[in-house]
Amino acid sequence: MVERYNVNWLLITDLDGSPMMRLRLLALTALVACLTAASVPLMAAEMAPHRADYVLSLKSAKQGSGIVGLKGAMSFSFADSCDGWTVENKTVMTMQQAEGDEIETRWSFLTWEAKDGLSYRFRVQSLRNGEKAEDIEGRATLEGQGGAGKAQLSRPEDKTIRLPRGTLFPATHTRLFLAEAAKGGTLFKRLVFDGSSLDSPQEVNALIGKSRPAVAKPSGKLGAHPLLAGPSWPSHMAFFNKDAEDGLPIFEISLRYFENGIADDLVEDYGNFTVRSQLIKLEPLPKPDC
């Protein structure tokens, strides 16, 4: 929702063209990705392969942020590939600056994660005003459940990233998060590697709100929908660089998370401004004949 996969993902630049912030994969991919696994019996419902469209808008901006407008769209799909789960996220965002300039960013993110959570492949590409801004590709493995591992990048250059014990990949993180919510948990803290940047895994701290019953009407633009008929949890997540000394989050995200792994009412908070992502179209995807 969140995620950031995440965007999630989406690279926004400031006036001189340097990176200003990133919508992490975890915020909009891991938050709307989902995974089923027999090893976690606490899941409240089977996860739903689906395709969803979101509209992005500027919710608020502080004085001095330099941002006066923002609009965009995201197309997200989560599919069952028999031995794993495939996530594809395509986003376009246009940010209007106070001086009148506009920056358009197009971003695509494609991942595959094994259903046992031990193998992961990823490819990230972004364009800024039509020119290539980022191209990351690689794969990662873990030694076992809860074990250490490594990520091997092939783009933009060959590089190995060591993954500490306890690192999770995005879909597994979402599966465990929903399992914690289903049993009434209120706190969930994990290290997550999403492959969306050259950074090491990030710490994700989540607060889980009180469950909303299945009869509650979805508050987003989509209204009533069969895939949004189950229980849900209002949640808040904060994302931290693992070795940061200031203790401040890179960004935060609030969302409503349904028991089948679908997210709505996402709001990303970057300090100087906030971005809203609202679900406007949702359809189920068929399950393969494995």
pLDDT in tens, 216-262: 555 556 667 888 888 899 999 999 988 777 888 888 999 998 988 88
Residue 3 has a pLDDT of: 35
> Is residue 1 a part of any domain in this protein?
no
> Is residue 155 a part of any domain in this protein?
yes
Q: How is the chain classified by DSSP, letter by letter? A: --B------EEEE-TTSSEEEEE-HIIIIITT-----TT-TT-SS----EEEEEEEEEEEE-TTS-EEEEEEEEEEEEEE-SSEEEEEEEEEEEEEETTS-EEEEEEEEEEEEETTSSEEEEEEEEEETTEEEEEEEEEEEESSTT--EEEEEEESS-EEEEE-TTEE-HHHHHHHHHHHHHTT--EEEEEE--SSSSS--EEEEEEE-PPBPTTSPP-STT-S-GGG-S-EEEEEEEEEETT-SS---SEEEEEEEETTS-EEEEEEE-SSEEEEEEEEEEEE-PPP--
Domains in the chain, number = 1
**In which domain, by residue range, is 118 found?**
10-284
- Which pLDDT band, with edges at 50, 70 and 90, does 271 fall under? confident
> Is residue 190 a part of any domain in this protein?
yes
Instruction: Express each pLDDT in 171-186 by its tens digit.
Output: 899 889 999 999 999 9
> Is residue 4 a part of any domain in this protein?
no
> Is residue 3 a part of any domain in this protein?
no
Give this prediction's pTM.
0.81
Whether 27 has a pLDDT exceeding 50, the answer reads: no
> Is residue 63 a part of any domain in this protein?
yes
- Which pLDDT band, with edges at 50, 70 and 90, does 137 fall under? very high
What does the pLDDT average to over 90-96? Answer: 93
- Which pLDDT band, with edges at 50, 70 and 90, does 215 fall under? low
> Is residue 290 a part of any domain in this protein?
no
